[in-house]
Structure 1
Amino acid sequence: MTHPLETDNVATPNGAPTPAALGFAMPAEFAPHDACWMLWPQRPDTWRYGAKPAQQAFVAVASAIAESETVYVGVNDDQYENARHQLPPRVRVVELSSNDAWMRDVGPTFLTHPDGRLALVDWEFNAWGGLDGGLYFPWDKDRRIRTKIAEMLGIPRFAAPVVLEGGALHVDGEGTLITTAECLLNANRNPSLDRAEMETVLRDYLGVTNVIWLPRGCHLDETDGHVDNLCCFVAPGEVALTWCDDESDPQHAICREALAILEATTDAKGRRLRVHKLPQPGPLYIAEDEASGIDRLSHSHPRRPGDRMAGSYVNFYIGNSVVVMPLLDPAHDGAAREILQGLFPDKRVIGVPAREILLGGGNIHCITQQQPRP
């Protein structure tokens, strides 16, 4: 039986019903998935040495997640054969052109309905700031990815009237969303919207009722402070927060500022949040040889020797039976892994060497997007 709207593209800004009004909502990442979506890295001004080292890291991430659920990797046509050769047979490679490989941000935010339907939100995208601090130009291929995935899956696409990236939000699936003012209220995203207006959009498109605002994200995060690098839900009423004990590190104040807000707030169910601290790796910096292999283009974000990277163990992916975490610093990898295993005792925590992903500006959560099970 065909559901209403099953293959329609639904635009809502002009008075049509919003996703929430139709009964759709965004489930938590720790809810069951049908699949995970990724993109293939190849951009030479983001990834060093023609993205060959990054491709190995992406293969490791995709292989780990594929133990848990179906993985789709979207690939530009000129990299299709290379990607198909490198990725294991159980990973599905599809031609899906992109400007870069950050599926969390350029891909859809999926919604589910109590009657079993799946839909997606198509946010506006301007490459993390457009011509005012954006990371590259153009972003035309990225902008079409959500429409293409809606077509591939035959599901409704709700076109949202705001610029927003998936890494800028986390939900608990029970009505609570967490984000940062640094990103969502940034003048290079939606300069005409204030906090109350943005909250209305989040409620209308994601079905949430409570929005927790943290002031800022991780120190020097080039996404303008995505929350998925700082804090995430690991269960209803529980969050993981990156943590720094070095008082001389700018991240020290950011963590404590976030902790004070998290401990003073309640979620949509009236619960006080339990905060689990994940140690910060590093600090980590770009080495000379790591910067030398990157093409220097005037329209892309510079990556220079000595630049500090926004490394974080919070940037992990929660699969059906696995948690895939970045390995970034031998001094802290083990402790972070032990904490995550304690938070997810029924899942296998898989550590993947992820410095090559971090060199591009993000990590495992940034390159993945879960497709929930309706």
Structure 2
Amino acid sequence: MNTLLTPASLGYSMPAEFAPHEACWMLWPQRPDTWRYGAKPAQRAFVDVAIAIAESETVLVGVNDEQYENARNQLPAHIRVVELSSNDAWMRDVGPTFVTHPDGHLALIDWEFNAWGGLKEGLYFPWDKDRRIRCKISEMLGIQRFEAPLVLEGGAIHVDGEGTLITTEECLLNPNRNPDMSRETIERWLQEYLGISKVIWLPRGCYLDETDGHVDNLCCFVAPGQVALTWCDDEQDPQGIISREALSVLENATDAKGRKLTVHKLPIPGPLYIAEDEASGLDRLNSSHPRLPGDRMAGSYVNFYIGNSVVVMPLLDPRHDGEAENILSTLFPTKRVIGVPAREILLGGGNIHCITQQQPRV
């Protein structure tokens, strides 16, 4: 393995999400087989997320040309709208992973992307526009782009900025991503491209998560040595089993600095299911993931965005929204927690963290 010109060998590393940001990148929803009723309800939710984050940092929203005027007219003037074509709106996964250098340089990682599983198991086809987004952003910002030999989405990883990365076996070891790579090889590439020194492997992501168990829906770092974990009290619920598996790993793990982890439990909403009217407004295409009435959704309050001065969390269930908001307010005492109605985003298969990507300040 040639590591001569990898980011880590040049001194770059990935900062934690709770480190200072320069900006936040998003994409505009319009895909009719993902977002119901021509994506109009989803666009309203995306606008609300962008407005909340813009209290904290610059927000840039990438838009396909045919939706440019619509997006520009819906978004406030202080939110930047740029023409940046995509196949769908999951900026966390199709956008760049930014890395920084102690000398003040910013660069980005261009992972391989196969729409969460490739031609047989991926969520849609084609994904050619998504593959070009990272290259375009590197050109727009005038920064170096490192092409990584690894299929990986941004939602599959969380880092503490001090050498530790957390992920799931269900996703990164899935044969639909990197079938010829061992766990050791994948760890080595993560070290070389993100500047980390330790990987904590959780067994599985949230129940029925269509991304094959992205960690950002299950668990995330909220500070060095501290993580938030999706929690279900019901031991008979499949999510309850998954959460307990993860808790066992986390309680027995140490981070790259040798610290034991403190685990903060966030209750799951629901369970939440797709209603008849929510499924009826979608285009049904053979090339995309079906969304049917009665399907359980992988709702999670862990899928929040940490901004410079705000934490933007999804509002998903009135029975649990307040409890989740109180927990996050305790975890982030210097930031304002903003809840945004986010069921429309969940109906598309993800949530607030999935549709955002932070650009760190250097």
TM bracket (short chain): over 0.9
Q: Secondary structure at the match of 1:183?
A: helix
Question: What is the alpha-carbon distance in structure 1 between the residues aligned to residue 159 and residue 353 of structure 2?
Answer: 14
Given that residues 123 and 289 in structure 2 are in contact (C-alpha distance below 8 angstroms), is that contact kept between their aligned partners in structure 1? yes
State the match for 1:219 in structure 2.
207
State the match for 1:354 in structure 2.
342
Q: Secondary structure at the match of 1:330?
A: coil
1:114-160, CA deviations, whole angstroms, 9 ceiling, x for partnerless residues?
00000000000000001131000000000000000000000000000
Select which of 83, 95, 111 maps to 2:99: 111
Q: Secondary structure at the match of 1:21?
A: helix
TM-score in terms of structure 1 length: 0.96
State the match for 1:152 in structure 2.
140
Question: What is the alpha-carbon distance in structure 1 between the residues aligned to residue 239 and residue 198 of structure 2?
Answer: 26
1:290-349, CA deviations, whole angstroms, 9 ceiling, x for partnerless residues?
000000000000000000000000000000000000000000000000000000000000
Give 1:17 shift: 1.2
Question: What is the alpha-carbon distance in structure 1 between the residues aligned to residue 275 and residue 46 of structure 2?
Answer: 21
Structure 2 regions of 5+ residues with no counterpart? none
State the match for 1:207 in structure 2.
195
1:22 counterpart = 2:10: yes
Structure 1 regions of 5+ residues with no counterpart? 1-12
State the match for 1:319 in structure 2.
307
Runs of 4+ in 1 over 4 A off after TM superposition: 13-16
Question: How many pairs are equivalent?
Answer: 362
Question: What is the alpha-carbon distance in structure 2 between the residues aligned to residue 248 and residue 273 of structure 1?
Answer: 26
Q: Secondary structure at the match of 1:18?
A: coil
One-letter amino acid matched to 2:219 = C
Q: Secondary structure at the match of 1:132?
A: helix
Given that residues 3 and 9 in structure 2 are in contact (C-alpha distance below 8 angstroms), is that contact kept between their aligned partners in structure 1? no
State the match for 1:169 in structure 2.
157
State the match for 1:72 in structure 2.
60
1:309 counterpart = 2:297: yes
1:61-95, CA deviations, whole angstroms, 9 ceiling, x for partnerless residues?
00000000000000000000000000011100000
One-letter amino acid matched to 2:154 = G
Question: What is the alpha-carbon distance in structure 2 between the residues aligned to residue 125 and residue 359 of structure 1?
Answer: 22
1:81 counterpart = 2:69: yes
TM-score in terms of structure 2 length: 0.99
Give 1:164 shift: 0.2
Q: Secondary structure at the match of 1:187?
A: coil
State the match for 1:101 in structure 2.
89
One-letter amino acid matched to 2:355 = I
Give 1:16 shift: 4.4
Correspondences of 1:277-356 after superposition (within 5 Å): 277-356=265-344
